[in-house]
Structure 1
């Protein structure tokens, strides 16, 4: 394991390349895990399958894990602060995708550092922002401030309804952390029961949001959001959105704030 005293020295680090493969079955399992219904045939039936763009985030999860395994931060205390996804082309139904990863910016928040992990491919660019307590104070730039929330009444309202077994399904896609399935592990981090994966919550919100906008969730081309609080499987949270020229700004209860999505047919 490589370690460093200066978090800023990780900026620009090459995290390597990887070719990931998946089948139609994997893409269908993902759709079910983020809330697709049996009646959403173009998301759950191989004959007419459209792969949800957010499936890319499970394919690229190895990259932030790689940075943690190299000792850049304490994986037990680091938090997934926010996520961005830019879609460049539709994901194929199955096959292999070459991914490359690097550390982008490393921001100095004083008491913590924020590491950006950027994953690039022919199909998407994804950026993780990882909040690492205890790794700030290295003399770097603080980075952008939290943007102001939208003002006025929302122009789009709907609900994110989650299933009681949603985390049990989602973890089969690679994030096997025990806090999403084991009540004992959840209690260790001060939660009354297992919590939703942040990426599952963010991705799941795009399905009802797309329906409310008259779009298809597979037509997503841009997505971002901050993880503000945990959500629990089986819960329902309101989605409030504010339409603009370049998509919709939205929030999911208290769980996700500062979010943005854009759909293009």
Structure 2
């Protein structure tokens, strides 16, 4: 973390923070960028991903189409920026759920999984943009997930840290390490780029296995692909969630 410079302590000194304060032009640009992304999200919610266009946003904001290109040089760049904001929002929801769950890692996992589902069901258009069929801007966003500060990595970090904490507390059942080393280890480079080379392969497997199961159910619920089977997808999600955490505790009745 960078240190904050509060000045030299001399009375009347303004310190370097005053020099780094944003100018009026910079504040206006930041405000306009936020307004553009807010309008893009509104179009997403009301019309789906295909409704987002720079021309439509410019029209709604009273800008000329060429003017908006001073802020985003392409639609893909705007979609990528919006995706980052949505992942940050989702990360904050998940992290808050983890904090409120107390110190028990199993309770934290269940709280985070439930928070993820609740946000996704409440925001189906946003879910579709960042976790559905990817638009070109989303493809670029996903392909850049090799930085620990990437919003997508930040979203996954609370889950990874908690599953790792469980492993350190008591090694839970996993496939044999030799099997995972042979079949999985060589393919974990993208995950390790964001979460660190030191992630045990058992933790990586548990993380990916759990994400596949829980994301799969949430995705089917959001896109209404479970209506043929269950009247309450939440009940099925809870069963699967209890089954998942059962591998850490040896039981599946954790509430």
Give the TM-score category using the shorter length: under 0.3
Give the TM-score of the pair, scaled to structure 1.
0.24
Structure with the higher fraction of residues in helix conformation: 2
Structure with the higher fraction of residues in strand conformation: 1
Q: Which has the higher contact order (CA 8 A, sep 6+)?
A: 1
Report which of the two structures shows the higher radius of gyration computed on alpha carbons: 2
Give the TM-score of the pair, scaled to structure 2.
0.25
